[in-house]
Structure 1
């Protein structure tokens, strides 16, 4: 798993689709859904950690980009 798209595909396997007009909000919702899948024992630790890292890195990138525009 290397991209946000990969994380989206993982969530899609479990019936989770996250599409709003707020990209950072989407990333946060995806992280919450991942947490529930992990707590429920549906995904393994390595998969959870990898996906969570990807989402957090993307969120940091978007926040940094937004600050640069201001």
Structure 2
């Protein structure tokens, strides 16, 4: 899976990814971190540590806990 496919999957969840960067690890897959410097009123900035990478599944609905969290948000 490449970064473009990961971003396509993540964009399909309806989550705003403005100021979000993607990281990749061979061992754990893709992850996200926020580069926004200012916190705006009524906004939540979610950063996921590198060791807790999201691993989206395109073949089944077995989502990880963080995938469920991202979809919920």
> TM-score under structure 2 normalisation?
0.29
Higher helix share: 1
> TM-score under structure 1 normalisation?
0.30
Higher strand share: 2
